[in-house]
Every structure is written in structure tokens, then in C-alpha cells.
Amino acid sequence: PLPQTRTSAILDYGTERRVTLSINHHHDCGRQFQDATIRIEGERAAVLREAYARGASNW
């Protein structure tokens, strides 16, 4: 089996912007436990998009 691969990165753009990436590239337990999350935050709004690949909502 392939080893797990994860990426964590912070892209710092000074006091105005920051991007945080946390990516799991390995899904050992099948499609049921796969996850894709996009989260965007700002001073005026916040956006969280879950289950991007299949378009479902966990709400």
C-alpha cells in the first residue's frame, strides 16, 4: 500500500490576507470517508463549501 500523504501550508500575504491549506491526499477507507472542503474567510464574509466533489451538503 502507498503511504499517507498530507500537505499543510500557510501562505502569508501580510496583515491583509492569509491562506491556510490542509490537504489529505490519501483515502485508505474508501469513498465513504473521502473529504473535500473549501473555506474562505474575510472581514466581511465567510464561505464554507463542503463535499465539493459530489455537491452534497452536510448541514
Residue 51 has pLDDT above 60, yes or no: no
Q: What 3-state class would DSSP assign to 33?
A: helix
Q: Let me know if residue 59 belongs to a domain.
A: no
Identify the pLDDT of residue 59. Answer: 47
Domains identified in the chain, total number? 1
Q: Which domain holds residue 22?
A: 6-50
Quote the radius of gyration of the chain (alpha carbons, Å).
14
With a pLDDT cut of 90, the percent of the chain lying above it is 0
Q: Let me know if residue 57 belongs to a domain.
A: no
Contact by Cβ (8 Å): 39, 47: yes
Closest CA to 52 of 41, 9, 40, 44: 40
* Side-chain half-sphere CA neighbours of 19 within 13 A: 6
What's the mean per-residue pLDDT of the chain? Answer: 68
Q: Let me know if residue 24 belongs to a domain.
A: yes
50 or 58: which leads in pLDDT: 50
